[in-house]
Amino acid sequence: MKAADQFTLHEDRIDVISASGSSYQITLTRCSCKGYSFHQECRHYKQAVNLGLLEKLKAKSLSFSITLSDHAKKLRKEALKEYLTKQKISFTEDLLCTVEPQITCTMKPSELIALCLAA
Ligand SMILES: [Zn+2]
């Protein structure tokens, strides 16, 4: 049986230890191996995509930046405000502050409304 590449998912990258013992790093846009720099694709990157690791990395980097950035928080609050106004749901500044951190990018509008009504 052929040894497999080992993938480890981190906050901002995926580490790969290849079957031959070399280690590489995969980010959202590239792999650090030689093959990738020649062909803009490689076995590691393809496998990371196939294993769904790249999607997970994307989700991580998204939640990472949203948690960190005050600017993003403000934008999310503004968007929430606009959305609630359109839906004719009354809200307070307190409600926005409570609900904003709980919003996820996979949330459905109905779930969002339920969250606001429960707050
Ligand atoms: Zn590679």
C-beta separation of 26 from 42 below 8 A = no
Q: Is 11 in a helix, a strand, or coil?
A: coil
Domain boundaries, the chain: 6-62, 70-118
How close is the Cα of 4 to the center of ligand 1, in Å? Answer: 14
Which residues on adjacent β-strands are paired with residue 17? 6, 23
How close is the Cα of 64 to the center of ligand 1, in Å? Answer: 25
When pLDDT is cut at 50, 70 and 90, the band that residue 108 belongs to is confident
> Of how many residues is the chain composed?
119
Tell me: the pLDDT tens digits for 38-58? 999 999 999 999 999 999 998
Which residues on adjacent β-strands are paired with residue 15? 8, 25
Q: Is the pTM of this model over 0.85?
A: no
For the CA atoms of 93, 95, 98, 104, the dihedral, rounded to the nearest 10 degrees, stands at: -110
How close is the Cα of 39 to the center of ligand 1, in Å? Answer: 10
